[in-house]
Amino acid sequence: MLGLGIESTAHTFSCAVLERKQNKGKILSDVRKIYKPASGQGIHPREASRHHIENSAEVLSDCLKQAGIGVSDLDMISYAAGPGLGPCLRVGAVVARSLASYYKIPI
């Protein structure tokens, strides 16, 4: 079984592909991009979500490439639904739901 995990709760947008065979799991890839605010400033939710939007396609593509699979090879998709920053969480949810809907993969 192959699963895609999407994380976007705050400053990091990441994707990982995990494989489960029998009762053992293995991480096939783990790719992330981190939003870094200016020195001395905290995370601005809208800027962080913009960062996630701008980097989500590249992170997903690199993640699948490193795992040596395509989206259609996935058996399931999961994403972080909270807690976290609303605008950031929304990006991960949209990516997960879009892939799941288009490729008919369960979340």
CATH number for the domain including 83? 3.30.420.40
Query: What does pTM read for this prediction?
Result: 0.94
> pLDDT tens track of the chain, all 107 residues?
999 999 999 999 999 999 999 999 999 999 999 999 989 999 999 999 999 999 999 999 999 999 999 999 999 999 999 999 999 999 999 999 999 999 999 99
Number of domains in the chain: 1
Strand 24-34 versus strand 76-79 pairing type: unpaired
Instruction: List CB contacts of 10: < 8 A, sequence separation 6 or more.
Output: 43, 48, 84, 85, 88
Q: Which residues pair with 20 in a beta bridge?
A: 25
Identify the sign of the CA torsion 7, 12, 15, 21: negative
Domain that holds residue 76: 2-103
